[in-house]
Amino acid sequence: MKCDVYLSFDGNCEEAMNFYQQAFGGEFVVLMRYSDGPPEYVSEGNENKIMHMTLSMKDGAELKASDVFHQPVEKGNAYHVSIGADSEEHGLEMFNALSDGAQVTMPYQEVFWGGKFGSLIDKYGIQWMISSPHKEA
């Protein structure tokens, strides 16, 4: 299992992540814009905004981030705890455990980038993202 910090920005994700790269070093291993995803994720003005970006640093640490479009960024909601499960089953188990009393923001399901993914805000107000790797065909 791996646990990473996931930050949310209100349109300046790329600028912030470039700043963090200067501060921490490392390299970008993922840079996906909204225009790279399915049409339902693209709206006027967000085409070049960041859907997902990962800065890989020393010792396997990663900082992940995106520009959000579905909710305003306010102090206190500009983060997620991102858990990378070892398997789809492990991911579902953790998602279900966290779901008790939670607001599910995206059900744990197959996603266009591969594997499964789900997000929720738990009963304590913590935002979680649970993902699992692709299954080999």
Is 20 strand, coil or helix? helix
Asked if 64 and 127 count as a contact pair (C-beta separation under 8 A), the reply is no
Per-chain mean pLDDT for the chain:
88
Taking residue 68's Cβ as centre, other Cβ atoms within 10 Å add up to 19
Residue 1 identity (one-letter amino acid): M
Is it the case that residue 116 has pLDDT exceeding 80?
yes
Asked if 53 and 42 count as a contact pair (C-beta separation under 8 A), the reply is no
Q: What does the pLDDT look like over 37-56, one tens digit per residue?
A: 898 888 888 899 999 999 99
Q: What whole-number distance in Å separates Cα of residue 69 and Cα of residue 105?
A: 13
pTM greater than 0.75:
no
Residue range 96-120: mean pLDDT, rounded: 93
Domains, the chain, with CATH or none: 2-84 (3.30.720.100), 98-137 (no CATH)
Pick from 125, 22, 3, 122: nearest CA to 75 = 125
Q: What does the pLDDT look like over 66-100, one tens digit per residue?
A: 998 777 787 777 888 888 888 999 899 999 999 98
Asked if 85 and 1 count as a contact pair (C-beta separation under 8 A), the reply is yes
Tokens for 5, please give them: 């910090």
